[in-house]
Amino acid sequence: MAADPVAPAGLNAEKETAPAAQAAQSREQNEHRNSATGAGTDKAFLTLRALLALKGHVLSRTHGDDVPVRFYVTRWGLVRELPDIAAVRIFAEQVGATNA
C-alpha cells in the first residue's frame, strides 16, 4: 500500500481533513442557532436571564426553525409567557431586576 504523497507521514487524507470538517460543521451550527434570535438577542437574553435569576426567576426560551422564539419566566411554579426580548426586558424592570 503506497503512502499518500499529500498527507504527512503516518496520516491519511481522511484523518487530516476531519478537524477541518468538524470546525466547519460547528460554525454552521452556531450560525444557524444565531440566525433565529440574532447575536445581540443572545447577549440580551443571557444578561436578562442572569438579572432575573438574582431575583429568583428562571428565564427560558423555545428553539425552533418553524416557529417564533417564545420566552418563559417562572417563579414559585407560576409561568409567564412573553412574546419577545423587549417584553422580557419590561418584565425585568417591573420586578426590579434591572438598574433602569
Q: What is the pLDDT of residue 35?
A: 47
The DSSP bridge pattern shows strands 58-61 and 78-82 to be unpaired
Is residue 57 within 8 Å of 95, Cβ to Cβ?
Answer: yes
Going residue by residue through the chain, which has 100 residues, state the pLDDT in tens, using 9 for 90 and above.
555 555 555 555 554 455 655 655 655 555 545 444 456 668 989 999 999 999 999 999 998 778 888 999 999 999 999 999 999 999 999 999 887 5
Q: Longest Cα pair distance anywhere in the chain, in angstroms?
A: 72
Pick from 61, 38, 59: which is nearest to 49 by CA? 59
- How big is the CA angle at 64 (ends 27 and 30), to the nearest 5 degrees? 10
Q: Rounded to whole angstroms, how far apart are CA atoms 26 and 15?
A: 17
64: its cell numbers: 425552533
pTM over 0.75: no
Q: Rounded to whole angstroms, how far apart are CA atoms 46 and 53?
A: 10
Is residue 10 within 8 Å of 4, Cβ to Cβ?
Answer: no
